[in-house]
Amino acid sequence: VTVLIHHCILYKKAEVEETLKRIQGQKGVQGIIIVNAEGIPIKTTLDNSSTVQYAGLIHQLVMKARSTVRDIDPQNDLTFLRVRSKKNEIMIAPDKDYFLIVIQNPSD
Amino acid sequence: MSTFFSQTNMLLMSVWSCFFGQDEEDGTEMGEGDEWMQGKTLIKPLDQLDLTEAELKEEFTRILTANNPHAPQNIVRYSFKERSYKPISSVDQLAVHFVLEGNLLHQDSDEARRQRAKQGLPEGGEDAGDVEEGGGEERADSVESKVGKKEQKITNQFNFSERASQTLNNPLRERGCQTEPPPRANFSATANQWEIYDVYLEVLQKQEKNKEKAKAVPKKDDDKGRELKTFLLFPPQSDDITKVAKVAKIIERMVNQNTFDDIAQDFKYFEDASDEYREQEGTLLPLWKFQYDKAKRLSVTALCWNESYKDLFAVGLGSYDFTKQGRGMLVFYSLKNSTFPEYIYPTTSGILCLDIHKHLPYLVAVGFYDGCVAVYNLKEETLQPIYKSTAKSGKHTDPVWQVKWQKDDMDNNHNFFSVSSDGRVVSWTLVKNELVFTDIIKLSLAGAVSEGPEGVQLPIMGKTSCGTSFDFHKQIDYLFLVGTEEGKIHKCSKAYSSQFLETYNAHNMAVDAVKWNHFHTKVFISCSSDWTVKIWDHTIKTPMFTFDLNASVGDVAWSPYSSTVFAAVTTDGKVHTFDLSINKYEAICQQPVVAKKKTKLTHIEFNPVYPIIIVGDDRGYVTSLKLSPNLRKKPKEKKGQELPKGPEVEIAKMEKLLSLLREPENSNA
């Protein structure tokens, strides 16, 4: 299902901020990181060292995943990536210029 | 010449002296001077060998050769050609006894001249004397030689001095210049299939843009104004946050999926196993609950599923309470995100009804409490509706209770109908930027028009009945039903604007909802605040079925998958589900779905594909519930036979039921 994006110039920024706040307030969410295309984190709710680590490692993973998907079919593209581990789940949603990482512990 | 001679004399003299010397030795034994004459007498030396006579007479042959006895006879030389040592065949036999280097100089040689020069002129005089004896020629020679001494150097090949000259060599100077090195940058990239594809796409897009520009050049003036506007509205986006909007949405959904994972699993997979033991009854499993903070005081006044995006539904919020009229809200939720709405439109007046266009999922028609109707375009950025009716453009004077989209008219304009308490059924057409209205029918009091027992057939002017609900027939385009506040249902046609085709005395109180059956073309259902739900065949004036639900019924809806299943909600917070093919008299499920008993359920809608229903209440909550298998039963065929699918089955099912009812009626009649 394609997403109909509702843009409103007046409160676009506020809307996004609000969305991020809601995500942060969800049950079990440990942190949110926004990383730009070069792998540099531009916004985060975690501490600096963790952020840098996550950003660097996940950037490579996303590039690889995206490359894989697109190699198989260039008209296809990666929508999101979930990495579920024993302790938590890392959700990554890539965009053309940015990607968003959310770490959640769903059983909390 | 003389010196030579003297020298040889000297030599001879020395030889003779030697010889004499020897004789003098021997002479000791002989007398002096006598040695010549006397013969030799042999004297044996003391160490002489003693030999016998025979040995003495023995002849020893001695050969005289010219060979040098001292010359070696076996000189060997290494021959490089044969790579071995080879004896030299002939050895030099020359024995040199005496060597004496001469010291005579030719008088004309250089050395002689130098010596003469050292000795001075007297030598030259002697020479001159000799020369005189020699002759005049010699004199000439000496004179010449004298002259020759005062030199000039004679150039000959032995007395050559080299003379060289060199041209001026220009001094070499080195000149260099260096240009600035071309700017370099390191470039690295991977060439994947998709990167190549991307580049091709970009080129394609550019080409298309160029084509468009070429076309758009004559239309420049029109567009310029618009372009300017759009530029003003789109300031360059700030670096970070705004671009993340889309991904933030995706992430929010993912997080919600995790948080409500069990609900999502239930929604997809849970089938109540206990239904097998329950015979006919079924249950409703509560799934997500949708609520919006700012809508807490409003009640849900309308629900509508989106036909294209089956997880999206619209909620209209407002208030049924006459005294508490204020603002309203149009809110869209997706099942994928139950915590926050997808779209929010605040409105000045409470919403009472809404409808989403079947084919254009972004067009929403809304009816307000203040009588206006509006059309929202979800694709637009603004919060305002794209069309809104005003007092000039024929808005209703009373609350609009129901709106419904119709098929596009002949000019391909979208249009929808609305019914209101002011007794008008109006058709609105979206023509370019305007909303054009057409009165379709005016609902007049039934008693005034149709078969009035008084016989006075004058239509009572000014008194119009209030339409509270309507529904259009699924197949027959012009046919529609209108429910009124008096409890009557009118069957109308779009063609006839003053007369009804039929009127049914349905209820004692206002008809809250009237709905055609999805499958059977003759059947419709109606519900009212008089606690009843009635099912009708539109050809028969009395209801087929009547159900009493013990509480005011807010809404009723047919299920999209079966012609005999429908659900109704009441103000006591219960959902009643009926399946006529299973139980004709009772509900197969009566379940309270809200926690607090005081909440009234206002609306209900079935999802077109998924086995869930959404129920709205007067606190602004929307609850989604999953229908258990018993509620979704399809008719069981005998084993071995295929289950026929499709609407025909449903129609047949309903028909069967109806025929059962009709027969006794016919028989009675």
Residues of B in Cβ contact (< 8 Å) with A32: 251
What count of residues does chain A have?
108
Best of B246, B253, B292 to disrupt the A interface by mutation (most A CBs within 10 Å)?
A: B246
Residues of A in Cβ contact (< 8 Å) with B243: 95, 97-98
Contact between residue B405 and residue B414 where contact means Cβ atoms under 8 Å apart: yes
Contact between residue B437 and residue B428 where contact means Cβ atoms under 8 Å apart: yes
| Tokens at B193, concatenated | 């299939």
| Tokens at A49, concatenated | 């060292």
Lowest mean per-residue pLDDT among B11-15, B57-61, B162-166: B11-15
Tell me the pLDDT tens digit for each residue of B385-417. Answer: 888 877 667 778 888 888 888 888 778 888 888
pLDDT at residue number B230: 40
Task: Give the 3-state secondary structure of residue B194.
Answer: helix
Best of B242, B251, B265 to disrupt the A interface by mutation (most A CBs within 10 Å)?
A: B251
Residues of A in Cβ contact (< 8 Å) with B196: 74
Chain A nearest C-alpha distance from B196 (Å): 9
Lowest mean per-residue pLDDT among A80-94, B6-20, B495-509, B522-536: B6-20
Q: Which residue has the higher pLDDT, B445 or A13?
A: A13
pLDDT at residue number B4: 53
Tell me the pLDDT tens digit for each residue of B610-667. Answer: 888 999 888 888 889 888 887 877 655 444 344 445 566 667 777 777 777 665 544 4
Element (H, E) at A62: helix A48-72
pLDDT at residue number B253: 85
**What is the rounded CA–CA span in Å between residue B306 and residue B356?**
6
pLDDT of B358 above 90: no
Partners of B537 in beta bridges: B523
Where are the strands (E) in chain A, listed by range?
Answer: 29-36, 41-44, 81-84, 89-94, 98-104
User: Residues B523, B529, B531, CA angle at the centre, nearest 5°?
Assistant: 75
Contact check, Cβ <8 Å, A100/B240: no
Q: Which of B235, B246, B254 sits opposite A5 (nearest CB)?
A: B246
Contact check, Cβ <8 Å, A93/B381: no
Half-sphere exposure of A18 (CA within 13 A, CB side): 9
pLDDT of B565 above 50: yes
Q: Which residue has the higher pLDDT, B236 or A87?
A: A87
pLDDT of B450 above 50: no
pLDDT at residue number B535: 87
pLDDT of B352 above 60: yes
Chain B nearest C-alpha distance from A93 (Å): 6
pLDDT tier for residue A4 given thresholds of 50, 70 and 90:
very low
Contact check, Cβ <8 Å, A100/B247: yes
- How crowded is residue B172: how many other Cβ atoms within 10 Å of its Cβ? 5
pLDDT at residue number B467: 79
pLDDT at residue number B240: 58
The residue whose two tokens read 């025909």 is B648
Best of A5, A8, A19 to disrupt the B interface by mutation (most B CBs within 10 Å)?
A: A19
Lowest mean per-residue pLDDT among B143-152, B571-580, B621-630: B143-152
pTM, whole model, 2 decimals? 0.65
Closest residue of chain A to B261, computed from CA coordinates: A106
